Structure 1
């Protein structure tokens, strides 16, 4: 689903629910309150696809080049050496 998201205030959604529920079948509709998107309306098949995807682990061959490069260039965080030392101390313990 690569189509851009339309954002509608919640009050407008209440007034024209039919219109925006039909629009959500074509592209995501973000519903805002106080200027901030609170939730997104999508077709149920897209929701189910997203739910399945969150439980599926991808193989390395399925990752795009940008993600692979990000993984290759990732550096450990500042606390990683301390955590590693604690793990080694606990293992030796």
Structure 2
């Protein structure tokens, strides 16, 4: 009868709205929790990588500055050596000129 069909439809409708939807909601909440944890973990990894990158950049900058200072020091030393050699050449030339 019509009343039985309506009752059956209400029962099916209640079933469809009840347990499976609650189970699906729980499953979705669980997956959402897992995704949030993974997101937090990835965010932590990104921050760690950014920190490592920052430290690496600082170390590279410091190393470049040290290399520039060393190069400048070597160049200055080379100029001093050239000047000393020039003076030595002049001295030897002047001494040879005297003894000739």
**TM-score by shorter chain over 0.5:** no
Q: Which has the higher helix share?
A: 2
In our comparison, the structure showing a higher alpha carbon Rg is 2
Q: TM-score, normalised by structure 1?
A: 0.20
Q: Which has the higher strand share?
A: 1
